[in-house]
Structures are given as structure tokens and as C-alpha cells.
Structure 1
Amino acid sequence: MKNLIIFLLIFFISPNCFCQQNKNTLKQTIKNYPELEAVIKHYKKKDDNEKLKAVNFLIANIGSKGSYMYDLVDSNEKSVGYNISNFKDEMDEKKGLDSVADVRGKLYKKESFLPDLKNITAQFLIDNIDKAFEIREKSPFCKNLSDADFYEYILPYRVSTEKLENWRTLVLNNFTKAQLDSIYNFSTVLAATAYVNKIYEKRFSFGGNRYFKEKKVRSYSELLKDKLGKCDDMCNLMVLVLRALGIPSGSDYIRYKRASNDVGHSWCFILDTKTKHYYPFDPLSENGPGFFNLPYKNAPLVSRNQFAILSENSIKNDQSIIYHDLFEDNSKTVTNEYFETTDLVIPLNKKLQEPLYLSIWNNGWWKPITYFYNPNQNIAIFEKVSKTNLYCLTKYKYRTVEEVKEPFIIDKFGEIIHISSLPFKKDINLNDVQNKELKKAKNDTFILDFVTNVEICKRVIEENDQKDQWILSSNLNIRTNTLYHFIDKSTHIKKIFLIKNDGSVDWY
């Protein structure tokens, strides 16, 4: 054991290592989990230093990774075999579950977590490592692939919290020899990925908004069986396929779309080792490789899923102080790859012994997108923040978000514009504003003062001989350079806007 640990640590201090665990943690991990020790012994016996480095990377970053299991059970905790894809829509799902409840009684959600450290086997890791190295040698799209990129975009044995399975073999068995030859005969990784994408478009598709509520992350075999899912499912499926084929890939996502009430979105990317360029694409869609256009203007934060544990996430394992959406989040920020960004330095009145969050207005409240934590500083620093957005510095306490300072706008030059210091304000007739969204608003659309939440006016299509008008409430006026909350109850749209002195509208 002692020799194994010393041997392993040699790789951890080498310049090619990308791990974050310290020596004591690594030593304890190997000591406590004999399956991991068996993998090290296997490659040490073969004197395979390259695969030993790969083992080191996986062990050092295995951390709290594992499989989340979600099920629906009866009072005896027996599964009722629930699968959302067995129902054609929400009404059909409710009818089906009601019929099950009539026989089995009240149904309960059951969640469990299977940590990889306790459940992964030596043979599973060995098979995964061997197949990853085999495809690295075979695939022309891995030529000149660095070890760092190989470790992140080919080697990992999982992409999320799906159940463990030998997906590399399953993927390759789903292709004919002719198809594999076609893939590797393409001269560009874009063409090869587009070819693979077309094949899987026929096997899996978007299943509708009802899938957004599903927490379960499905494995490759489960995805192909169910054939339907949300964008996360489509990403996971395509990443598994591409990595099995030796095409370096991963996924990016946004949690919130500006100040709207929409859900976020996930998409894939591939790495072209010839150009060293990342190409994003929506998997299983016509917005495929080479034709990607992110339809969300200036999303506040774009994140990239990582297998490696990131050093800046050191407090993300403390559930008592971290916002729940960011707890154990192992992503890195790549907003600057998609939008113009700036680095923010915000002065504080005093040093705070808790994380501060940069929040975006979403669906009626401030939602944290990233945090800063340094109790020894009286400033808050946020890097790579998207421009032309509305933000607020907040605290998270007792499951509520509190404003630390008033909301502010980051303009196109990267300057912070505080709400109270917006330029000269003047009264304006909203009916004269030439903005399509305001002009096309329907009945049951209201405008509230953003700060006081008081109704300023409402949209009236036809009432008392007035048609297509914004009618002021009481004696209140609409003013330029003031934030307002636009709420369309019929479409559930909630947005923030201000009208500038020239009559143009900025939406946030």
C-alpha cells in the first residue's frame, strides 16, 4: 500500500496533473476504497504510465459523484414502475397515476443517492479507461488532443448523475461498420458530428415542457428506450455518443434567460483539435454543428459542465451557506465565449462573513447566478459578467434572498449604472412609444413600478370606446429612465423594461 501511494503521488506533483485533492485526502481515498487500489495495481503491473495518470485524474476528481435514483413508490416502498415517457401528456399521466393509486394506495416520491466511491468496481473503471485510450488512438478527431482535454472530454466514465453502465460499448454496437467508416472518413469534426447528429435525430426527440419537472438523469440505454426528454437529456445522449466515438465534446448551459420567466437551456459543444476552437450546437436539431445561434440575448451566465473538481468551488460543499442552485455545482464560467463581458468590482460598506451573490431578476424575484466569498475583503469581485443586463447584489439567508444594494444595470461599455442615478426623467405617453411588444400587448397586461410594485397602467383592447390603449391607473405617470415590470397574465410573460428619453425601450 505504501509504495502504491508514493507512486501515485508522483503523478500528482507532475505538470501534467489537473487534480485538486491534497495528498492526505488522496491517501485516505485509496486506503478506504480497495476497488480504486485494484485499478492502480492493474496499470502499475502493466507499467502503463499514461493510463496511471488517467486513473489519478479520475480518482482525484471522483469526489461526491454518483447516481441519483428517483422513483415513485407505495406505502410499502415498493416501486410502481413510474416512467414519464410511458404517458403521452400530463392528462394521460395523471389518469394513469390515479388508476395506480386506486389499487396501490397513496404514492410517494423516493430519492436515493449511490456514491461512486462505494459502488464503482475496478473492472468498470479499467474497461472505461481502456476503451477511452483505444478510441483516442483510432479517432482522427483526437489527433493532437492534449491530455487535459482528453481527461475532460473523452475519458470520464459519466456525464452527469445517470446510473453507471458500459455506454461506450453500447454506443459502438449501435453503429454499423459502414457508418463508423463514414464518420472517420470525414475531413472535419463538424461534418462528422453533423452525420452522427442526423442518425440520433431519428432515435430521440424533445418531449415537451412536462419533462422539465423530471429530476431523473437517464443513462444511454434508458434514453434510447424512452425516446423523449428535455434539452438536458438530448445533451447527455449526444455527449455520450460523441465521446464513445472519439469526438471531444461536452455541454454548456444557462440557468436563467435574462429577466424572463422562462426555464434555462443546455446545448453541446465539440472541440476541433485542428483549429483549437469550440463549436456549440443544439443536439438532435437543425441548429446543429456549424449553424448554432444562441437565441437568448446576453444571458447573464453561461456555464460549462466539468468532471474535474474546480478549486474555486471550495465552499460549495457547505450547504448551510451556499444557495441551493449552486450547491456542489462543478461548472466553470464561459460567458465570454458567447457574449461581451466585463469584470465587476463592487465596494462594500463592511466586510461580510458570508457569500454575496450576483443575482438576475427572473420570474418575479432575484435569482443568484454566481457568488463571491472572501470575508477579509470589503469588495465583491465577479468575473466575466455579461453586459447590458439588470443585476442586484444579494445575500441568501433562511431560504430567502435579500438585497444588499439597489439593482444596477451594466451598460454596453461595462459601466455600472445605478437605478437611483439614471439620467433625467420625463413623463411620456406609453401609447406613443413605437415598440412592438408594447403595441401588441393584449388584455390583462399590466405595468407595475419595479421598486414599489404599484400598478401604473394596464392594457385595454376595447372598453368605453377606447381601443388598443394603455390606461393609467389613478394619477400615476409613466416616466423615462425608470424601471417598470411588464406582466402579461394571458401568456405568463414577465419582463423588466425602461424607456429612454428618445422613446426607445430597453428590455431586461
Structure 2
Amino acid sequence: MHTHIPGYLLIAILAITLFPSCQSRNARPEDIELRLSVLSENERQTFENLLDHYLPEGDSLKIKSCYFIINNIAGIGSLAVDKEQQKVVLHKDTKYITTDYLIEQIDNAVDACRTKIVKGSLSFTDFCNYVLPYRIDYEPLENWRKKIQERYTPMLDSLGGYAQLSDTSLCRIFNKQLVKGFVYKGEGNYGDIKNWTALSSENMGNCAEMCKTVLFPLRSYGVPATVDFTPSWGNVDGGGHEWNVLLQNGGKNVPFMGLESDPYQYEPFKLIDDQEHPEKSTYRVPGKVYRRQFEINPNSLVSKNTNQERIPELFNDYRIKDVTAEYFPVANIDVHFTPAQLNNKQHAAYLAVFTNGTWKITAYSLIDDKGNAHFKDMTRNILYMPVLLKNDLYEPVGHPVYADSTGIVKVLEPQQTTIDVAVTQLRSKEAEEVAFIAENQHLGWGHKMFTDGLDKIKRDEKRAAPERGQAYTLYYWKDKWEKVNTLSKQDGTLVFNDVPANGLYRVTASNGKQRERCFTVANGVQQWW
């Protein structure tokens, strides 16, 4: 039997039942609608359900958190190996993530940080980037917050509860807990695809795993922390480095090293600490420092790569930002490229540092219509080489350049006038220390032979110098390493005559590994880069 409903009543019922939904959808920001419009029907439904869950509740923090994730979820997911096709594939979160999973992550993160946000001790931007994210890299998804809280909440409750502990205290607590049984392993770790379960069960890895291992529990308890990194050092050989940073309201962020050093006790760049003579302490200095965040950076190179030019792997990342100026005095370096140099109409230019015998890209800039590239916030007293993409290779172009301690930019363009170059050493003290550590780290930092060796380098008693009877070749940079001469070391100082002035030089030994550092000459003395 059908019941007849008067027209005016039907309209009233529809208004009552539909108005909240229509109001919610009409209230959604335009950018959210735009993000949802590019998704497939199934993908969109996940986020429609998410919005339908939060909008009626009216919790502004959770609603804004929901918006943030929707606005920044594109392009990320879990990496997995496709054994049939023998390649790595990305399972995008927009396709595979569930509404329930996101609700649980948002609820947990907001509940852990609500008081901090309301009181103003944690900015909402830092919360979104460094606590809210449901993943850190490209690891398989899991309910890591719940697993971590089940494991550590009883311990934290015994200390008065996590809400009563400062962020710095929680960093110290988790460093102490997580370092137990950890084994350092330098190579073959694949840390970007390890989730909390894998990291905590394997309990081994390099600096990348150490950083990531501590991030999961910190974020689980509402501590805003992330990873800063340098792709390569500017004054010594070797790979780059990653370390943690604790984000503090007001921008006075504090570096620390997961599973190793606590906040206020870690200097990511100090190489050898000379406590008796602090001015003689040595440092590894990066050309650039970047920070990992969840928010898509509109100023990233991959965001601005409108002509689809191939870009280096380092910059094929929407979620890093330059924070070099937080650590070092910086200067802007402008480089002009001629039409001949830009014969392929390159979209971007790069600056590279010299490491492991070659030039490694560390910074980028778009090229304007006049052929100029503007590199912002470059570390001072670090040497850079301009680089362009040519014939599908990244090639050095032009002359090495650096900003001195006052910020004045200097270009090393060889002159027609010549000088004599006296070679008294083959590498800098910092390079000497790095090489010694790499060759002897199996002894351990507390071993007498290890500490004695470093002390001798510090006192200049053990330095690589030209050896009698050994042949040495001097090069200077002019579009490539140009040979000047080869000499055999005899008595006295090894001196190369008639060398182009104002150049960048490099000496290699016939029995060397071709990884010698480069140098300039000032008042007849070698200055290392």
C-alpha cells in the first residue's frame, strides 16, 4: 500500500534531509573540489566519505587536517617490487588508502596535539607537515600509531604520561629506548620502503634508518620532527648525510640524531671536536641542506618543470624545501649562460660541488629569458660548478664560483698571466680525517690506534704530502681538467711553473685513487675546497 504525501510536506522533508549534506558540500573550499575532480570515481568516494565523516562534526582542527591531506596526497604511495615485470611500482595512496585508515590517523594526530595547537606552542603548519602525515616515505601502510602506543604508553605513563613530558624529553627517551641492540649497517638498507614494523624488528641500518626509526614514535606522541639532509658535502669526499630536527614554534629548530645524539647535544657538521682548542675543530660543510615535509612545495623544481625536461633524481621530489639558511651564512649566486651554452634551450641550471673526484649536483635554478640563473641561499666559502643538461647528460659549463665569507661572489676564470704553484700537501686536513676514519672505522672510535691517528692529523704530524720519487700531475679547470705538467718529486718542495693564474687546481698521484681534492692558491699557499 502506498501512502500519499502532500507536495508541500515532501518538499519540507527533502529540505530537512538534504540541507546538511548540501550545506557541507557547498562549504568545501574550491581547492578541495579541484583536487577531488581529477580523481576516479572510486578514488573520489574515499575522500567524499572522509569529508562526510568530519564536516558534520564541526571539529575545525580535524576538518582542516582532512583538507590538508586531500590537498597534498597526490603522487605518493607504497613502493613494491613487481617480480613479473622486474621493476619497482608505486601503489598510489589515492587508489589504495581507505577512509577508515585516514580517520584513525587524523583522530590520533589531532588528539595528541590539540592542546599544543590551541595554546600556540605548535603551529598548525608544523603539525600538518611533521605530526599529521600518515606515512614518512614510501613504506607499506600500517596502523603504526596504535602499535607504538600499545608498546610505549605503559612506559611513558610510569614517567607521568607523554602529555607531561617536553618534546626534548621524548626525543631523549626514545633515543635511549630505540638504540638498544641497534646495529649500524652502511649499505643496502632500502630505508624508504621500510615501515615501523620492519624498522623496529630488523633494528639495523644507516643514518636514514636511524632518522626514520625515531620519527614514528615521536610523531605518534605528537612531537613535530622530521629529517634534514645534505645530498653531498662541499669540502670533503664521501656521501651525503641525514639527521633529525625537532621543530619548535618560532623557528628555533633543534637538530639531533636518531638513536645516537639528543637535541642540544648534536652538531651535524662537526667532524673532529678539539675541546682544548675549539677554533681548531674541523667540519664537513654542505653546499645545501634540505628538509623533508609532507606538503607539496610549489617552489620545488619538479613542480615548476612545465616543459617536462629531465631533472636529477635529487630534485624529482615535491616534498623537500631548502633550509640552508637555518644552518649557515648564505649568499645568492647568479650565473649567466650564453646562447651557445644554452643551445638545447635548457629549462633549469644546477650548481654542483666537487666530491669523490667528480661534480655532484646540489642546487637548482630556473633559467630566465636572458640566460640568467639565480641560485638562492648558497653556503659561503663552498666551491660550486655550474651544470646544464646536454645530450641527456649533466655537464659542467663555465667557471667554478663561490661566495666568500662576506658574501661577495668570486669566479675562478684562468688568466693568461702565470704563477708558480708550490704543492706541499695533497689534501686538506678535513679530507685527511674523513679518509682516515673511512679506512679505520673497523677499529672503533675508542681504539688507541684510531684516536692516535686522528690526533696526529690534528697536529699536522700525519698528512699526505708529495713523496720522493713519486710522479704528480697538476691540472687546472678550463671547461674540463686541463693538464699542466707531470713532475717527479725530488728534494725540497714540489713546484709547478708557468701555471695560469686565478685557477682551480688539482694534483693527482700516479699511484692515487683520482679522488684528490681541488685547491686554489692565495699568496703562494694552497687553499683547499
TM-score by length of 1: 0.78
Shift in alpha-carbon separation, 1:429–1:145, aligned structure 2, 3 A: closer
Greater alpha carbon shift after TM alignment, 289-298 vs 442-451: 442-451
- Secondary structure of the equivalent of 1:160? coil
Q: Name which of 487, 497, 506 aligns with 2:519.
A: 497
SS in 2 for 1:283: coil
**Contact kept? 1:186, 1:192, Cα under 8 Å:** no
1:454 equivalent to 2:483? Answer yes
Q: Decide which of 362, 375, 393 is 1:369's aligned counterpart.
A: 362
Give the C-alpha shift of residue 424 in structure 1.
7.5
Please say if 1:307 is aligned against 2:294: yes
Q: Which stretch of the first structure deviates more once superposed, 348-357 or 60-69?
A: 348-357
- State the match for 1:292 in structure 2: 266
Cα RMSD (Å):
3.6
Q: Does structure 1 residue 239 correspond to structure 2 residue 215? A: yes
Aligned mates of 1:199, 1:459 — CA distance in 2: 57
Matching residue within 119, 133, 138 for 1:156? 133
Distance of 1:181 and 1:136 partners within structure 2: 21
Amino acid at match of 1:496: C
Question: Which SS does the other structure have where 2:517 is aligned?
Answer: strand
Q: Partners of 1:310 and 1:9 in 2: how far apart?
A: 28
Deviations 1:408-446 (A, max 9, x none): 222112222111268986314324899755942487895
Q: Which amino acid aligns with 1:293?
A: E
> For residues 345 and 193 of structure 1, what CA distance do their matches in structure 2 show?
40
Distance 1:355 1:410 in 2: 21
CA–CA distance in 2 between the matches of 1:245 and 1:501? 57
* Percent identity for Structure 1 against Structure 2: 24
Q: Name 2:395's counterpart in structure 1.
A: 402
Match of 1:482, as an amino acid?
Answer: G
Quote how far apart the aligned CAs of 1:40 are.
0.8
Contact 1:270 1:279 in 2 (8 A): yes
Residue 484 of structure 1, CA deviation: 2.0
Contact 1:366 1:401 in 2 (8 A): no
Match of 1:332 in 2: 321
Q: CA deviation at 1:368?
A: 2.2
Asked if the contact 1:446/1:455 (under 8 Å) is kept, the reply is no
In 2, distance between residues paired with 1:205 and 1:147?
36
Distance change in 2, residues 1:457/1:138 (3 Å):
farther
2: CA distance between counterparts of 1:9 and 1:147? Answer: 24
Q: 2:39 is matched with which residue: 20, 29, 49?
A: 29
| Alignment-derived partner of residue 5 in structure 2 | none
CA distance in 2, matches of 1:191, 1:347: 49
Structure 1 equivalent of residue 66 of structure 2: 55
Which residue among 382, 386, 411 is the counterpart of 1:389? 382
Question: Which runs of no fewer than 5 residues in structure 1 stay unpaired?
Answer: 14-20, 78-107, 461-465
Residues 456 and 283 of structure 1: CA distance in aligned 2, closer, same or farther (over 3 Å):
farther
The residue matched to 2:200 in structure 1 has which SS?
A: helix
Indicate if the aligned counterparts of 2:330 and 2:379 stay in contact, CA closer than 8 A: yes
Q: Which among 154, 159, 162 is matched to residue 184 of structure 1?
A: 162
Partner of 2:409: 416
Distance 1:362 1:10 in 2: 53
1:61-104 per-residue CA deviation (whole Å, 9 max, x = no partner) reads: 00101111247x5xxx4xxxxxxxxxxxxxxxxxxxxxxxxxxx
Question: Does structure 2 conserve the Cα–Cα contact (< 8 Å) formed by 1:317 and 1:328?
Answer: no
Equivalent AA in structure 1 for residue 220 of structure 2: A
For residues 425 and 22 of structure 1, the distance between their equivalents in structure 2, rounded to whole angstroms, comes to: 64
Report the counterpart of residue 225 of structure 1 in structure 2.
201
Structure 1 residue 54: Cα displacement = 0.7
Q: Which residue of 1 aligns with 2:331?
A: 342
* Matched letter for residue 506 of structure 2: H
Q: 1:201 aligns with which of 176, 179, 191?
A: 179
2:253 is the alignment partner of 1:278: yes
Please report how far the alpha carbon of residue 289 of structure 1 lies from its aligned counterpart in structure 2 after TM superposition: 1.3
Partner of 1:127: 104
Query: Is this contact kept in 1: 2:196–2:213, CA < 8 A?
Result: yes
Q: Which amino acid aligns with 1:281?
A: F
* Shift of residue 113, structure 1, vs aligned partner: 1.3
The one-letter code matched in structure 1 to 2:464 is: K
> CA offset at residue 189 of structure 1?
2.7
Mapped to 2, the partners of 1:335 and 1:116 lie a distance apart of: 31
Greater alpha carbon shift after TM alignment, 288-297 vs 428-437: 428-437
Q: Residue 245 of structure 2: SS of its match in structure 1? A: strand
Alignment equivalent of 1:440, drawn from 446, 449, 464: 464
Matches of 2:26 and 2:311, distance apart in 1: 32
**How far apart are 1:345 and its partner, in Å?**
2.9
Q: Which runs of 5 or more residues in structure 2 are unaligned? A: 1-17, 270-282, 433-461
The aligned residue for residue 357 of structure 1 is 350
CA distance in 2, matches of 1:448, 1:265: 31
What CA deviation, in whole Å up to 9, does each residue of 1:439-467 have, x standing for no partner?
A: 4248789554142342745787xxxxx68
Change (3 A) 1:289 1:215: closer
Q: 1:500: how far off?
A: 1.5
Closer/same/farther in 2, CA of residues 58 and 185 from structure 1, 3 Å limit: closer
Of residues 28, 39, 51, the one that matches 2:50 is 39
Letter in 2 for 1:53: K
Q: Deviations over 1:276-316 (max 9, x none)?
A: 5210011111x321111122543101000011011113235
Partner residue in 2 for 1:98:
none
Instruction: Tell me the equivalent position of 2:231.
Output: 255
Q: Distance in 2 between matches of 1:116 and 1:492?
A: 45
**SS in structure 2 opposite 1:169?**
helix
| Residue 66 (str. 1) matches residue 57 (str. 2) | no
Q: Mean Cα displacement is larger for which, 375-384 or 222-231?
A: 375-384
Q: 1:124 Cα deviation (Å)?
A: 0.6
Is the CA contact 2:346–2:388 (under 8 Å) kept in the aligned structure 1? Answer: no
Contact 1:428 1:479 in 2 (8 A): no
Distance of 2:67 and 2:89 partners within structure 1 = 28
Residue 485 of structure 1 pairs with residue 506 of structure 2: yes
What is the CA–CA distance in structure 1 between the aligned matches of 2:315 and 2:129, rounded to whole Å? 21
Q: Distance in 1 between matches of 2:133 and 2:318?
A: 17
